[in-house]
Structure 1
Amino acid sequence: MTTTNRRRSTLFLVLFAVAVLAAITVAGILLNGRAMESDFARKNLMPCLEYPFGTDWMGRDMLARTLAGLSLSIRIGLLTAAVSACIALVMGIISATMGRWADSVVCFCIDLVMGIPHILLVMLISIACGKGFLGVVTGVALSHWTSLARVIRGEVMQLRQAPYILAARKLGIRRWDIVRRHMLVHLMPQFLTGLILLFPHAILHEASVTFLGFGLSSEQPAIGVILSESMRYLTTGKWWLALFPGISLVIVVLLFALLGERIRLLLDPASAQE
């Protein structure tokens, strides 16, 4: 396969993943009201043409609830990944440009955060912030920036020795002007790739914390809430209550992973010829 055809197929996969994720997000927003409607006349129906994902013990449409939950998870993932990636960008640049003392402080923070299991750290921050939407967003955002910060720190430390960076220093250009004019453009491929690859982690940890009861409230049609409530009914043979939401969550996570990998291939000059 030629390089042009490879890039074309990569771009097609990126557009496909974006289209599917956008469709799920919009559909979930539109079906949010229907996901909350209960009708005991249709409770515990198995999957059928009218209700492809079946209904639950309150007669709620599981397809609508699943799409609403995935939409909420995607929106939370977008918000938390964006905040976390921006924290990583700032911390990585500070670590590599502000001297040995700043580098030691940032590296200590990275080691401290990475030394605590993500789920436990997200739970602790979520509880400290009162759980709910704010607690989940804060917990996920403050616990997922470390790996990307290390990548950006390494890139900046390499860029510091570039001839044009050294020449800019000799000319007396201020440190932050050098970062803004000459370094940020080189950091964008790593930043965008890291940002997208943070999505699946953010979504899974949001769902996990909510499943354990430390995240979103049970009133919201979140995937974690759906899976947690469904566990009580699996022993009675209502397998569809957890199977379809679980598979849907895995598909969304895999789409984000595919999107991040393909965008890395498009943006990273080192992989342009792969």
Structure 2
Amino acid sequence: MPEGDAVRRTADRLDRALRGSVLTATDFRVPQLAATDLRGAEVLRTDTHGKHLLTRLRTADGQELTLHTHLKMEGSWRTAPAGARAPGPAADARVVLRSAKAVAVGLRLGLVELFPTAEEQDVLGHLGPDLLGAWSADDAAEALARLTADPDRVLGEALLDQRVVAGIGTIWLAESCFVDGTCPLAPVSALRDPARYLARTRRMLQAALRAGRPVTTGDRRSPVWVYRRQRDACLRCGTIIVAGQVGEPGRERTTYWCPHCQPQAPAASVEGVRGVS
């Protein structure tokens, strides 16, 4: 599933293609919006909150609406110049937006819904602060409070919970925990300085947004420390990277860590997942 920085890049691409344009044709290929016609609506901007895409529009009669989409595991948005054939397989298209400037197609989107912009808080208010949002002092304090609310909760489970903080997926879980020196299977209380952890992780996502992809090591030839590197040697100490499952029951995800650089996990837990792919 795309993570916060990848979703933000998608939003920026949509924003460049459509912002300020008036829609000349729309096609919603999901049952609940099949009869919706947004011709004449102006695209105000596309923003994100964590992994959620929010395309805000103003209709010809002045209504402000938000097109809320989520890529889930397989979705994407593609754009092309106006007059071009809609990009991507037609069978995969869930949303098509056309203007005199460009065409944007949402492919295999996991979620498509339309609601008044004034209701955004009702729809997304359960999410934690967005690591790639404006991030005020209040956001930082709220994220810290949510993260540390249950010190005994498994760290990796807490970080993947978008209600705690929005934008972290499996890449940033693994890489941020490595840089912090904390095993993702350890409890939240293992973080030595949770506020510093959150600030550093935010900087890592911002750097990935600028670079166009995660490069946590500083070396594009070997861009990540542990993510998907199980059975390979740690770039820092040479210990073999291991992998294991973390997350709420039924929503487990694979994560990765170095047993030497991230020693907070009990030895038995590390042995129990050594070599898992």
TM-score normalised over the length of structure 1: 0.24
Larger Rg: 1
Bigger share in helix = 1
Q: Which has the higher contact order (CA 8 A, sep 6+)?
A: 1
Bigger share in strand = 2
TM-score normalised over the length of structure 2: 0.23
